[in-house]
Amino acid sequence: MADPRSGPPPGIQELEITRSIYVTRAEAAVYLNVPPRWLANNTKSGPRYIKVGGLVRYSVEALDAFMSAHEGRH
């Protein structure tokens, strides 16, 4: 049995996390190119979010789904 204090299993330490799955309101606003206040004021009609304690977080998947749902026809 491996010693749990020895670190992650082989192969895991080579993995790199390049982006967080959840982003802050400010990061989501940059991603959507809208003011952060717009997200705060549109909690019912804007993208889905979660609250962790008093902190609001948006999943990148929810932001992409919101944008896809609001695509116009060209």
| Mean pLDDT split into 10-residue runs, the chain, 74 residues | 56 51 93 96 96 94 93 76
Question: Could you give phi then psi for residue 60, rounded to 5 degrees?
Answer: -60, -35
With contact defined as beta carbons under 8 Å apart, do 40 and 25 qualify? yes
State the pTM of this model. Answer: 0.69
For residue 38, the SS3 value is helix
Given this model, what pLDDT does residue 73 score?
A: 72
> Which residues neighbour 62 within 8 Å (Cβ) at sequence distance 6 or greater?
47, 48, 49
For residue 57, the SS3 value is strand
Go through the domains of the chain in sequence order and give each one's CATH number. 21-74 (1.10.10)
Q: Using alpha carbons, select from 37, 60, 35 the residue that is nearest to residue 50.
A: 60
Given this model, what pLDDT does residue 21 score?
A: 87
